[in-house]
Amino acid sequence: MKILSISTSSNIATVAISENLECIKELNINVPKTHSETIVPLVKEVLEETNIQLSDINLIACDIGPRIIYGY
């Protein structure tokens, strides 16, 4: 099972893809309060770098925090 994980609950935005409990690729960017501008390009980049299509993703996981995608 491939999982796309998105974290925006701190100043560091993180996007990762894992499969069978092993991280395939993780990208982080430290740009406070601009996650709404950085998440989509990070997702695109992690998919391109792993040669995985969005249709190959079985589950999308995200956290809930003070800076979820719309900002704080």
49 CA to centre of own chain: 13
Q: For the whole model, what pTM was predicted?
A: 0.82
Closest Cα to residue 65, out of 15, 11, 12, 9?
A: 9
CB 13 within 8 A of CB 39: yes
Residue 47 lies in a domain: yes
Going residue by residue through the chain, which has 72 residues, state the pLDDT in tens, using 9 for 90 and above: 999 999 988 888 899 999 998 999 999 999 877 777 888 999 999 999 999 999 999 999 998 766 545 544
What's the CA gap between 54 and 23, in Å, rounded?
16
Q: Into how many domains does the chain fold?
A: 1
Range of the domain at 51: 2-62
Alpha-carbon distance of 51 to 70, in angstroms, equals 28
The enclosing domain of 23 has a CATH number of: 3.30.420.40
pLDDT, residue 65, reads: 65
Within the chain, what is the greatest distance between any pair of CA atoms? 33
pLDDT at 72: 43
Residue 31 lies in a domain: yes
